[in-house]
Amino acid sequence: MKILFSIIICFLAGAGAGIGTGFAGMSAAAIIGPMLTTFLGVPAYQAIGVGLASDVLASSISAWTYHKNKNLDVKNSLPLLISVLVMTVVGSFVASLLPERAMSNTTQFAMIFIGLRFLLKPVTTTKEQMEQMEAKERFRKAVLGGTMVGFICGFVGAGGGMMLLFVLTSFLGYAMHMAVGTSVFIMAFTAFTGSVSHVVIGGMPDQFLLVSCIIFTLIWARIAAKLANKASAVTLNRIVGVVMIVTSVVILLANYVFPQWTIG
């Protein structure tokens, strides 16, 4: 019975993570980490590792899909990518020094806030408008934003993709589709770095949960990315907002209103 329950949770976590990755450029760990911790009682640090590992293939396949639709900016995202990678390792190391903890509820409230932002004020920037920012200003904002995003991703294993999407749209002026495509491209590298760091520092997580989450997340990320590239910018904004809000509300309800849902 426990195995069946574990499979169901992995499927739901993978579906939510895959949809979040493909549609919203979110880190799969933002969903898988708290799901495994909340419902299966997996230690937070190991749950983060599973989430980050699941994110590698899911983000890669999503990035490839966005690239084929010309919604990926590799050249201008390199400063952001490098700063994110460096700070992911730093954040992961700092997290390993702290006592065992549940996923930060601050992240869930931040996801609700940013989700409402995409719902109420959709990003309608065009590719032509995003190219008007000066190179020096883009570089400075990319490094600053990448430092913040990388530490968040490594430290809590969640919120990296969410914050990255916010940085790309609000600070760097990216069009919505381009922002999501670039976000999942960067998150593929970030997730790989973070997952390796977590394994080296905290040991190998449960292999059954690891494989299950990777497979389910990959399948749903592929489906979501294909659909997202066919959607309008306004529709994509709404989907991003709903995914962020629903995910956060479910996790908060499980933690505070219906703790009996968990078996941890």
Q: What's the distance, CA 172 to chain centroid?
A: 19
Least confident of 6-15, 50-59, 138-147: 138-147
**Complete DSSP assignment for 4-73:** HHHHHHHHHHHHHHHHHHHHH---THHHHHHHHHHHH---HHHHHHHHHHHHHHHHHHHHHHHHHTT---
Query: Is the pLDDT assigned to residue 261 strictly greater than 50?
Result: no
Q: Where are the alpha helices (DSSP H) in the chain?
A: 2-24, 29-40, 44-68, 78-96, 105-120, 127-130, 135-156, 160-166, 176-202, 207-228, 233-256
- Reported as a single tens digit per residue, the pLDDT across 85-125 is 888 778 777 766 765 544 455 666 777 777 787 788 777 77
Q: Cα–Cα distance between 158 and 106 in angstroms, integer?
A: 11
| CA angle (47 as vertex; 7, 214 as ends), nearest 5 | 50
Q: Give the tokens for residue 181.
A: 């495509």
| CA angle (17 as vertex; 16, 18 as ends), nearest 5 | 95
Q: Which of 135, 114, 193 is nearest to 143 (CA)?
A: 135
Q: Cα–Cα distance between 42 and 226 in angstroms, integer?
A: 32
Q: Which of 93, 75, 180 is nearest to 135 (CA)?
A: 75
- Reported as a single tens digit per residue, the pLDDT across 251-260 is 677 666 655 4
- Reported as a single tens digit per residue, the pLDDT across 170-219 is 888 888 889 889 988 988 887 887 788 777 777 788 899 999 999 999 99
- Reported as a single tens digit per residue, the pLDDT across 188-202 is 887 887 788 777 777
pLDDT band at 264 (very low <50, low <70, confident <90, very high): very low
pLDDT of residue 260: 43
Query: Is the pLDDT assigned to residue 10 strictly greater than 90?
Result: yes
CB 197 within 8 A of CB 65: no
Higher pLDDT, 135 or 71: 71
Q: Cα–Cα distance between 250 and 152 in angstroms, integer?
A: 21
pLDDT of residue 169: 85
Q: Cα–Cα distance between 100 and 193 in angstroms, integer?
A: 21
Mean pLDDT of 40-61: 87
Q: Cα–Cα distance between 55 and 110 in angstroms, integer?
A: 20
Higher pLDDT, 99 or 66: 66
pLDDT of residue 263: 45
Tokens 């990035």 found at: 63
Question: Mean pLDDT across the chain, nearest whole number?
Answer: 80
Percent of the chain's residues with pLDDT above 70: 83
- Reported as a single tens digit per residue, the pLDDT across 121-149 is 777 776 666 767 777 888 888 888 888 88
Q: Give the tokens for residue 88.
A: 């992911």
pTM for this one? Answer: 0.76
pLDDT band at 153 (very low <50, low <70, confident <90, very high): low
Burial of 226 (0-12, 13-18, 19+ CB in 10 A): middle
